[in-house]
Structure 1
């Protein structure tokens, strides 16, 4: 049966709703629904694992190709020179071996984290849900702190909770370098990040690198170094012009207006908030790259919880003080969120799967479970007036059922 969803229901109806929701949401179904929200937990280390493998593969291709092309032709070189050159190639291959050992360690670390997170999800069951949820709460808090740049606090919480393999501190420290640089109005680390992830960003049709190039161009115009700005535009902006012609033209016109222009269309390009925009854009691209949610998980869970609690009754003067939304602070947070219950919903019988309405009203068993009149009457007629609850197996007389009134 679907939960009753009229916010103005009577106390009887509210009780029926609560009991019915508890009945239909078993611990196993709660767990199943809960694990559906853990996409980010597995996706992030997996994406990092793939990135590490690709980086190691590029190193091997580059070094091996250089060694092969560097093998001398025996006809054009003396014996001593050939030996010396081959020794240098051997040294280069030994250097490659050391790099691969470091790369292998990084791969094993990411594989270990993937395994740890799978084990964590598999360990969730009804017997240890309290402990499992505490671990999840700590993960969510660490995720929020990292996104809000509270790196030291996030690290300490992860260490004290022993969940280092379940959180993504190292990845966020990677992002921190770029964010700090953009905060200091430097684009080099951000451009290096774009180069490292060029294929993925291209797949996403990201324009972040183009925006960084535009900002570099603007800074050259701001410093009145117009000739260098033109050279820079030819080298770095022209390849993007066909795709982003309007933005390209708009920025290029600043050569004529300079940073002292009073025209709002071009003046805004020289404002400091453009760097804030780049930081926000980087955070979005960073989350997309690793399959993270754009919003912190804490915000998502908080919004889901408040929305589930939010009903028109919460805003009534006689709202019970036990309801969190009776407090003004919670009401303010829930203001932009939708109500959890619609004014026009359907009640479906658990047994017959038919709608319950005025022609087939809902009846409540003494144990609180709700079924349609048609289903219970048919069951009673076939069992000498006895009714067996299909969920609990308890047996009652038909005379013990009561009507549920929905307002």
Structure 2
């Protein structure tokens, strides 16, 4: 199989969120439309009754012109009221129809974009498709920046013609709530929770409970016990704490909502300047940052968005295939080898990327998570810890991970598992296929003074020799002059 052939399941792994977000928006529009119909059916029934009553009054009068002005004005007022309600219903339904058409257009555009994935990277259409995807990832990165680079994201989306691939309204919604939290205001996030309460209850999210708890803490900080007690009775109770408790186990050291509620009730007796550590923590301004992080995580989960930028996930996937202990050294004190030092002949390892952008390395007998942001060299489950391998060499200027700012993302991903080395010629910049065997390209120039050498391809050395008046080879690094008989064959082991 050609190495340039594309596997859709792998290429489109990061694109699944681009379909889920507009589908969720379309579901909301349809639900709102259904609610509008159900609500206005009763209004339509009332209008019909008013209309029937008006018709009976008109039929009961032999001559409408003989009606007194007061009765005629009352009838006209009734007709105007019916027309006003019908116009209001028509306007609401028209707005919902426009939103539905927009959502359908966005979904169709994204389906067409994903369906246009070429079969091979050699296809003429692949460059344009890949550029669109890269632009989408950059716009996603701009929106996630703090503060968001909204103008840059909009300009790039319009320039590249990917407006329908970007969820501007979704990011604006998140930015609006985060601005409110930065200003220590709960109005925006309470409004957002009200619109998404059903979905939050399904996931047993503790977000709403945490918001009300923070509002209660602020009333205690203001030393207004009456309002604080009233607020707690209305919004905080053991039942609400139980609803906010996730089904999965709590992490060690984290208090459950019920425990948080029990501790917070004592704030009525403790002022903000208390020296008790437990209540100092509740009064701490850092709780606003924690609430902001919880909202961001909940928002991403609700809309099926990864918690890290798509650009980082794409870069980390590439870095994981390049990273070696020479590019990013093994931390001191680590007693196990990186995955690249896993002994040959052992059971194969499996690497997967979750929907949250975590890269997980699975051993032969069970998963051993190696998530972004964790230690880069865990002991693989089901296999003995291999020893540290002695590494020789130094960073290469031809390695993207060694010679670019990408190295900052290196510590967050696992080491690659290379069975054989990949050699890049320092003269031509091309990958050297094979070794120095019969008809091979891989050769070395060994310094007569130091005994050290550098590996190049024969193609690159022919190019160097063509630039020498006597056809000699000038070593690019040391400047030594070699003849063709000085070449040493190199074999990859």
- Give the structure-1-normalised TM-score: 0.73
CA contact (8 A) 1:71 1:86 kept: no
CA contact (8 A) 1:63 1:93 kept: no
Residue of structure 2 in register with 1:110 after alignment: 103
Equivalent of residue 52 in structure 1, options 2, 23, 29: 29
User: Whose RCO is larger (CA < 8 A, sep 6+)?
Assistant: 1
Deviation at 1:319, TM superposition (A): 4.0
After superposition, the C-alpha distances for 1:217-268 in whole angstroms (9 at most, x for unaligned) are 1111111111011001111112514443212112111111121211121112
Q: Equivalences for 1:266-277 in 2 at 5 Å?
A: 266-277=279-290
Cα distance in 2 for partners of 1:213, 1:227 equals 16
Q: How many residues align?
A: 330
Q: Equivalences for 1:387-402 in 2 at 5 Å?
A: none
The answer to whether 1:262 aligns with 2:259 is no
Residue of structure 1 in register with 2:39 after alignment: 62
Deviation at 1:161, TM superposition (A): 1.3
Mark the CA change 1:365 to 1:144 in structure 2 (over 3 Å): closer, same or farther: farther
Q: Equivalences for 1:313-328 in 2 at 5 Å?
A: 313-314=326-327, 316-327=392-403
Cα distance in 2 for partners of 1:61, 1:118 equals 32
Deviation at 1:65, TM superposition (A): 3.0
CA contact (8 A) 2:320 2:416 kept: yes
Residue of structure 2 in register with 1:163 after alignment: 162
- Look at both structures and tell me which one has the larger radius of gyration over its CA atoms: 2
Residue of structure 2 in register with 1:335 after alignment: 411
Residue of structure 1 in register with 2:131 after alignment: 134
- Bigger helix fraction: 1
Mark the CA change 1:241 to 1:319 in structure 2 (over 3 Å): closer, same or farther: closer
3-state SS of paired residue (2:6) = helix
Q: Equivalences for 1:304-319 in 2 at 5 Å?
A: 304-314=317-327, 316-319=392-395
Tell me whether 144-153 or 88-97 shows the greater mean CA deviation. Answer: 88-97
Mark the CA change 1:35 to 1:273 in structure 2 (over 3 Å): closer, same or farther: same
Tell me whether 60-69 or 219-228 shows the greater mean CA deviation. Answer: 60-69
Q: Equivalences for 1:6-405 in 2 at 5 Å?
A: 25-29=3-7, 31-68=8-45, 79=57, 84-85=77-78, 87-125=80-118, 126-148=123-145, 149-238=148-237, 239-243=239-243, 244-314=257-327, 316-327=392-403, 329-341=405-417
Cα distance in 1 for partners of 2:400, 2:14 equals 24
Give 5+ residue unaligned stretches, structure 1. 1-22, 345-363, 369-403
Tell me whether 185-194 or 332-341 shows the greater mean CA deviation. Answer: 332-341
Deviation at 1:95, TM superposition (A): 0.3
Mark the CA change 1:241 to 1:329 in structure 2 (over 3 Å): closer, same or farther: closer
Deviation at 1:324, TM superposition (A): 2.0
Cα distance in 2 for partners of 1:55, 1:65 equals 16
Give 5+ residue unaligned stretches, structure 2. 58-70, 244-256, 330-391, 421-436, 442-489
Deviation at 1:66, TM superposition (A): 4.5
Deviation at 1:33, TM superposition (A): 2.0
Deviation at 1:59, TM superposition (A): 2.4
CA contact (8 A) 1:218 1:251 kept: yes
After superposition, the C-alpha distances for 1:245-300 in whole angstroms (9 at most, x for unaligned) are 21211211111112121112111222222111122111111111111111111121
Cα distance in 2 for partners of 1:50, 1:282 equals 22
CA contact (8 A) 2:209 2:241 kept: no
Mark the CA change 1:183 to 1:307 in structure 2 (over 3 Å): closer, same or farther: same
CA contact (8 A) 1:311 1:339 kept: yes
- Give the structure-2-normalised TM-score: 0.61
CA contact (8 A) 2:396 2:403 kept: no
Cα distance in 1 for partners of 2:393, 2:440 equals 32
* RMSD, aligned α-carbons: 3.0
Cα distance in 1 for partners of 2:409, 2:308 equals 15
Cα distance in 2 for partners of 1:137, 1:330 equals 16
3-state SS of paired residue (1:37) = helix
Deviation at 1:194, TM superposition (A): 1.0
Cα distance in 1 for partners of 2:300, 2:438 equals 50
